[in-house]
Structure 1
Amino acid sequence: MTATTARRHPFTIVHEVPGRLRLRSRRLFDPALDLKYLEALAGSLPGVDSVRTNKWGSSIVIDYDADPKNRTRILNLLENIPTEAYLSGGMRGDPMSPAVVAGQGTAAALTPFLPWQAKAPLSWLLGLPTILKGLHTLLYDGVKLEVLDASAVGFSLLRQDYFTANAIVALLGLGSFLEDWTERKSDDLLKSLLKPQVETVSVEREALEIRIPFGDLMVGDLVLCGSGELVPVDGVVVDGDAALNQSSITGESLPVHVSEGDDVLSGAVVEDGRIKIAARNVGGETSMARIGRFLENSLRTQSASQKKSDELADKLVPVTFGLGLGLFALTRDVSRAASVLTVDYSCAIKLASPVAVKTGMHTAGHCGVLLKGAQALDNLARIDTLVFDKTGTLTRGDLMVTDVEPLNGLGPEELLALAAGAEEHYAHPVARAVVSEARTRGLPFPPISQVDFIVAHGVSAHVDGKRVLVGSRHFLEDDEGVDCSPVRLLARRLRGEGKSILYVARSGELLGIIALRDELRPEAAEAMAMLKERGITKIVMLTGDHQDTARAIANELGCIDEVHWELKPEDKASLVRELQMAGHVLAFAGDGVNDAPALVSAEVGICMPGGADLARESAQVVLLEDDLRILAVARDVAINVHRVLRRTFGAAVAINSAVLLAAAAGRLTPVASAFLHNASTVGILGYAAAAARKKPKLAQMIESGTVSGKEC
């Protein structure tokens, strides 16, 4: 639907009371409009409690908090439905109404007791929608499930077996209602993750500090945030100052100082201080609400495995149809043919898959893993190789200076101050570590001029007219001709301890080296062993460190099968492609902006919770907890869902085949056949939802702190 077409079908308010809107528009009847996606979009708006759409009635009902501003947001969304809410393939119809299901059941139950004059018109009236739907499907889509249903009902009506026809319609309606209810419940599980991370917030109104529900926040409100609290809005600081941890937003692990006039984003945590923020964006418009888009997309996506199952289910429909017609041609037994036509494989196969996948994604979310769609879950169960970028993933990403080794009579503090002065304005983890250490020691920085930053190499600056170089050995010795041989043995020893080396030179002469250490995550070695236990056959570590440092860290971790060192950022994606060409199905775990190409190239891109924005957007899996063991939990969830899908597929084929054979042999009436088919479908859906919702044992052990240390 184009924008012009959309404007020709505006939304009209047909009924309104405070806190409730009912609108109508022919736009909702568009088969390409994804109504579930629209419901999720509207449901994530601030103040919205519930959203219900009725395609056939072309209406939408929204319950909200009666705030005029939120009412405006709702109307604006409906008048400007985003393009991504439209699908080329159309959508399933609206769920069956309980009233319609009850009416069909009552009519079927009363049929034997009605006079003949009433039976025929009532039965044709009840069966006509099913027949028309089947004809429409046959003309436009071929032999599908709807054609089988229409044939079974039509055969029964033609032979004037009105009770059978009405009973089949009632069972189809009940089955459809229960299937839709089960699927909607699984959708609601995912939508529950869209709820705000904070329930109440402190605001200043009329010079008084009060706490209000998160949903009552309005643009312009003065929000108060103290130490340890989450910033719930995007806005600008109007009073106070604080140290903010913005790692969940920017990937920056060091606290950022903010004061009056500075912008802040929702999702940041106040580590120290107190600030007053004028809210600019609230609720679903904040940066924190971006997680909602991931979940909204997950409601509509299918994995490759799901698509294959659906295709197979569709291929089995003509088999059933042909068997039913063949039996009728051979036996002239309409009842036996109708019994066969009420059995279909596609219901259980097609519906169990999304129910299991969505429920599994919800389970993963509550275990600390955000999965962006069914394909991420599918791939996570298939991977055999895991590639880790070392810094910020296997390590904390928080470098610390461990050794300062000067030469030629220079003092350690003089060497550190010189290096810190040169790197003071360089936005790099190594530079930040050196500057932080110098400030901790209270060292004065020398006046610096003509600073040049050489990406992936180091810094060049001038101090008192003399050129100072700070960076890697390759930068100083190979590029700038500085002799680094006096510290070769010392540097080798420090690298053997897993430390990175920073070289400092002035006027072409080496002044000394500074060693830094990025501590391994305490759970990293245990997580590697857990992943090995769960079928990951190859674990690879990538790093820009020297070979000696890389090997020392790999040895400390254990379970590392392959190490690549001294890599440039662009090398990571190339290595991922090489491994894929070698036949590996792999996941790549990283957290930096430079990791984005590798995250996209891998079958599964995994981002740490403190990852940079671009990394979080590029990854298919985002860890919500800063614990590598959660990766093993995610693998458990994926394997469990994969197992559930295999079992539901097997059960659907086995049960329906048995019913089909019994029906073909004349052992089942059409009513009994329809009952067994629908009952088995509902049972399989119930199993899929219950089994996929089961929390992995490992997740429970991590929560209780009872995980025992593991080694390779």
Structure 2
Amino acid sequence: MKAFIQHESRGRLRVRMHQYRMSLEQADLLEAYLLDQPGVKSAAVHERTCCATVCYTGSRAELLHAIGRFDYRSPAVTALAPQHSGRALNREYQEKLVTMVAVKAACTLFLPTPLQIVRTVYMAAPFLCRGLRRLLRGQLRVEVLDALSIGVSMARRDFGTAGSVMFLLQLGELLEEWTHKKSVDDLARTMSLGVSRVWLQKDGTEVSVPLSQIASGDRIVVRTGSVIPFDGEIVSGEVAVNQASLTGESVPVIKRPGAKVFAGTVIEEGDCVIEVTQQAGESRYDKIVSMIEQSEQLKSAAESRASRLADKLVPYTLAGSVLSYALTRNVTRALSVLMVDFSCALKLAMPLAVLSAMREASTYHVTVKGGKFLEALSEADTIVFDKTGTLTHACPVVADVIPFGGREANEMLRVAACLEEHFPHSMANAVVRAAKDHSLAHEEMHSEVQYIVAHGISSTVNGEKVVIGSAHFVFEDESCTIPEGEKERFDALDPAYSHLYLAVGGELAAVICISDPLREEACAVMRSLRALGIKRTVMLTGDSERTAKAIAEQVGVDDYRAEVLPEDKASFVEAERRAGRTVIMIGDGINDSPALSAANVGIAISDGAAIAREIADVTIAAESLFELVALRRIAQHLMRRIHANYRFVIGFNGSLIGLGVAGILMPATSAMLHNLSTVAISLRSMTNLMPAGDAEKPVK
């Protein structure tokens, strides 16, 4: 497609597509395509102007070539179409906001006074009905104050004040609804399945195919630790399924042949074959948005306190209005008190602040599943790290393959990749990439594979049992032996590497050496976290004592534990909590899941195991560990903003009531200032908590 460069600077390009109009769907396709290009850091498409702004680190020429070959109808492009997009939502509420303001201005300027009065009475009916319903239920809520304020103003023939009050209330409701839906939509999209390929059962074999190629009636294979990508019915196998994303219950449900399973749920244990009944986008997983909206348990304690305080203050506001009239016999002064309430700002600003903080966190590649986790993050004093994929790079590499028993290194790597590709984990991915780099095809040549959590994988190849995993699993659990005469080679293995042991027929066949270098930013992140109030940092790993000690000294953690199993990690976290500490746990593997559940806040790496992401309260991309620093800062800034909002609401509205009782402010002025302050504090609550780029700066 033709495009024109409108503006260009180093690493940034703004182009205009050669088309007269751009639909919302086309804008989503173009943005997804640009983000999929190598070297592109960010891309934003503006459908109204048919423009795209791209920030990149790669080759300019390659980027321009990619834009030039873009085609909306290309299958490669249409496959990138997002299932959920916030673009339509933003357009809808932008138009609502503009329409509301335009109609209000037009009516004020051009509508005759009698018609303005009729319009005000008509608009007041819903407010009066809501207030009356609350009274009939015996509930003194903010709706009663709104109804009284509007009703008394109209009874005094002050239709201008009544109209202004209703306009500001409607504006506040629209902004709250927009921000809430936008935040929920962002959260739901970042909690998307994240599955690009599945194992299709075809002609007695398993074939890895793109998600978009699966149709109803196809049979797919899903194994331990993997997310179920479609609604379907189990054909064979028995599995324990975690359905927390749909039901909110974390207790796994046993599913047998004939049972229905749903997209977005995760297999905790077992393997199964699923016959697809509904394709992506049609599944029950889309209902996750409703679950988020209805989930009161995700509210922070600060939000709940604000909501309770808001309701408790309504009777006092009413009592203050009655007392003012009893003392002064002045309806105007009593009405001035009635025009001001605390609950409107408290109920509006606090949830908006939390949802906006969650939205802001998403700009740092962090997904937070509820406000209460941000509050816990701000209070945490202990952070526990899993080593592999967190403190070390999430992309370890195979440094060497050392064969034993006269076997050939490439053939052993091929066998290892064939088994490991079924279970996504950072070290497993390293083996699969190494096989690909060596152009080693590893089609299915084994029987059913079995994953043993935190230990390894077992299967059968050419009639021989093959196992791959830790030394404990291979030599102790499986009783495998080292080939005769090769003990010296085995003892000489380089301790600088992590090791995967591959055994065939009960005998060691190869040792795969994994290089897992420490993240460059790890030490700086530890210093920043301590400066932000973290008092204790701990590393947990299944590595040997010698390797663990070396890594712990390099990264600068306060404590470490070596050769730990999943239950050991969870026990350690629980012990820390019993000691009175607020604990953050961060990990990426299936074996980290129990500890993630046990922590006050569990943080999973988005590229890690699906079950870890499912159980975790927060997910991070882990492109940089400074995402943790950003998250801690956002959480702390959020709590400071909430407390500042409390002080402002109480102080400002208390002053308005005092000035109204003193006769200094008229009811219309009190109502105007109150509603303007509510909108102002709500708009402020929607702003970012941190300046752009602040997360990457180490705390001194």
Same fold (TM over 0.5): yes
What CA deviation, in whole Å up to 9, does each residue of 1:54-99 have, x standing for no partner? Answer: xxxxxxx999xxxxxxxxxxxxxxxxxxxxxxxxxxxxxx999668
Cα–Cα, structure 1 residues 481 and 618, in superposed 2: closer, same or farther, change >3 Å?
A: closer
Cα–Cα, structure 1 residues 297 and 592, in superposed 2: closer, same or farther, change >3 Å?
A: farther
* Structure-1 separation of matches of 2:454 and 2:516: 17
Asked if the contact 1:233/1:286 (under 8 Å) is kept, the reply is: no
Partner of 2:201: none
* Structure-1 separation of matches of 2:310 and 2:674: 15
Aligned-residue offset at 1:337: 1.1
Cα–Cα, structure 1 residues 232 and 290, in superposed 2: closer, same or farther, change >3 Å?
A: farther
Amino acid at match of 1:327: S
Partner of 1:697: 693
Match of 1:676 among 662, 673, 678: 673
Cα–Cα, structure 1 residues 108 and 651, in superposed 2: closer, same or farther, change >3 Å?
A: farther
- Report SS of the residue matched to 1:529: helix
Task: Say whether 1:190 aligns with 2:196.
Answer: no
Match of 2:305 among 299, 304, 308: 308
Amino acid at match of 2:299: Q
RMSD: 5.5
Task: Say whether 1:329 aligns with 2:307.
Answer: no
* Structure-2 separation of matches of 1:127 and 1:589: 52
Aligned-residue offset at 1:176: 0.8
Task: Say whether 1:650 aligns with 2:650.
Answer: no
Match of 2:157 among 157, 162, 172: 162
- Report SS of the residue matched to 1:588: strand
Partner of 1:234: 212
What CA deviation, in whole Å up to 9, does each residue of 1:358-411 have, x standing for no partner? Answer: 2222222222222223333333323222222222222235555557789xxx78
What CA deviation, in whole Å up to 9, does each residue of 1:244-295 have, x standing for no partner? Answer: xxx99899xxxxxxxxxxxxxx9xxxxxxxxxxxx99988459998997897
Task: Say whether 1:179 aligns with 2:172.
Answer: yes
Amino acid at match of 1:640: H
Asked if the contact 1:153/1:338 (under 8 Å) is kept, the reply is: no
Amino acid at match of 2:525: A
Asked if the contact 1:190/1:295 (under 8 Å) is kept, the reply is: no
Amino acid at match of 1:605: G
Partner of 2:606: 609
Match of 2:534 among 523, 533, 536: 536
Partner of 1:572: 569
Asked if the contact 2:474/2:501 (under 8 Å) is kept, the reply is: no
* Structure-2 separation of matches of 1:691 and 1:436: 39
Match of 2:365 among 368, 385, 388: 368
Amino acid at match of 1:632: V
Aligned-residue offset at 1:173: 0.7
May I ask how many residue pairs the two structures share in their alignment?
Answer: 541
Amino acid at match of 2:212: D
* Structure-1 separation of matches of 2:344 and 2:682: 10
Asked if the contact 1:44/1:292 (under 8 Å) is kept, the reply is: no
Aligned-residue offset at 1:309: 0.9
Please list every run of 5 or more consecutive structure 2 residues that lacks an aligned counterpart in the other structure.
1-22, 25-80, 191-208, 216-224, 230-262, 264-275
Asked if the contact 2:150/2:166 (under 8 Å) is kept, the reply is: no
- Report SS of the residue matched to 2:687: helix
Asked if the contact 1:339/1:673 (under 8 Å) is kept, the reply is: yes
The structure with the largest alpha-carbon Rg is 1
Partner of 1:385: 382
Moved more, 628-637 or 463-472: 463-472
* Structure-1 separation of matches of 2:693 and 2:390: 24
* Structure-2 separation of matches of 1:685 and 1:62: 16
Cα–Cα, structure 1 residues 578 and 50, in superposed 2: closer, same or farther, change >3 Å?
A: same
* Structure-2 separation of matches of 1:171 and 1:107: 16
Cα–Cα, structure 1 residues 184 and 417, in superposed 2: closer, same or farther, change >3 Å?
A: closer
Amino acid at match of 2:587: G
Aligned-residue offset at 1:306: 0.6
Aligned-residue offset at 1:162: 1.7
Cα–Cα, structure 1 residues 481 and 355, in superposed 2: closer, same or farther, change >3 Å?
A: closer
Cα–Cα, structure 1 residues 123 and 101, in superposed 2: closer, same or farther, change >3 Å?
A: closer
Aligned-residue offset at 1:649: 1.9
Q: 1:481-560, aligned counterparts within 5 Å?
A: 494-495=494-495, 497=496, 499-500=498-499, 502=501, 515-558=513-556, 560=557
Task: Say whether 1:663 aligns with 2:641.
Answer: no
* Structure-1 separation of matches of 2:627 and 2:642: 23
Amino acid at match of 1:549: T
Moved more, 574-583 or 316-325: 574-583
The sequence identity of aligned pairs, in percent, is 33
* Structure-2 separation of matches of 1:448 and 1:688: 57
* Structure-2 separation of matches of 1:300 and 1:469: 43
What CA deviation, in whole Å up to 9, does each residue of 1:501-552 have, x standing for no partner? Answer: 75979989x9997654322233333333332232222222111112222111
- Report SS of the residue matched to 1:234: helix
Amino acid at match of 1:235: Q
Match of 1:581 among 572, 578, 583: 578
Amino acid at match of 1:697: G
Amino acid at match of 2:361: A
Task: Say whether 1:630 aligns with 2:627.
Answer: yes
Aligned-residue offset at 1:345: 0.5
* Structure-1 separation of matches of 2:467 and 2:587: 30
Amino acid at match of 2:554: E
* Structure-1 separation of matches of 2:84 and 2:461: 55
* Structure-1 separation of matches of 2:604 and 2:588: 5
Aligned-residue offset at 1:659: 0.6
Asked if the contact 2:606/2:620 (under 8 Å) is kept, the reply is: yes
Partner of 2:75: none
Partner of 1:71: none
TM-score (norm 2): 0.62
Amino acid at match of 2:550: A
Cα–Cα, structure 1 residues 109 and 537, in superposed 2: closer, same or farther, change >3 Å?
A: farther
Aligned-residue offset at 1:658: 0.5
Cα–Cα, structure 1 residues 347 and 390, in superposed 2: closer, same or farther, change >3 Å?
A: same
Aligned-residue offset at 1:556: 1.6
* Structure-1 separation of matches of 2:437 and 2:621: 32
- Report SS of the residue matched to 2:213: strand
* Structure-1 separation of matches of 2:154 and 2:463: 100
* Structure-1 separation of matches of 2:460 and 2:672: 85
Amino acid at match of 1:698: D
Aligned-residue offset at 1:144: 1.7
Cα–Cα, structure 1 residues 667 and 564, in superposed 2: closer, same or farther, change >3 Å?
A: same
TM-score (norm 1): 0.61
* Structure-2 separation of matches of 1:690 and 1:440: 46
Aligned-residue offset at 1:128: 5.7
* Structure-2 separation of matches of 1:291 and 1:134: 32
Amino acid at match of 2:305: K
Please list every run of 5 or more consecutive structure 1 residues that lacks an aligned counterpart in the other structure.
1-18, 21-42, 54-60, 64-93, 198-230, 238-246, 252-265, 267-278
Partner of 2:617: 620
* Structure-2 separation of matches of 1:402 and 1:48: 43
* Structure-1 separation of matches of 2:466 and 2:283: 44
Cα–Cα, structure 1 residues 156 and 195, in superposed 2: closer, same or farther, change >3 Å?
A: closer
- Report SS of the residue matched to 1:622: strand
Cα–Cα, structure 1 residues 587 and 52, in superposed 2: closer, same or farther, change >3 Å?
A: closer
* Structure-1 separation of matches of 2:510 and 2:128: 86
* Structure-2 separation of matches of 1:460 and 1:144: 62
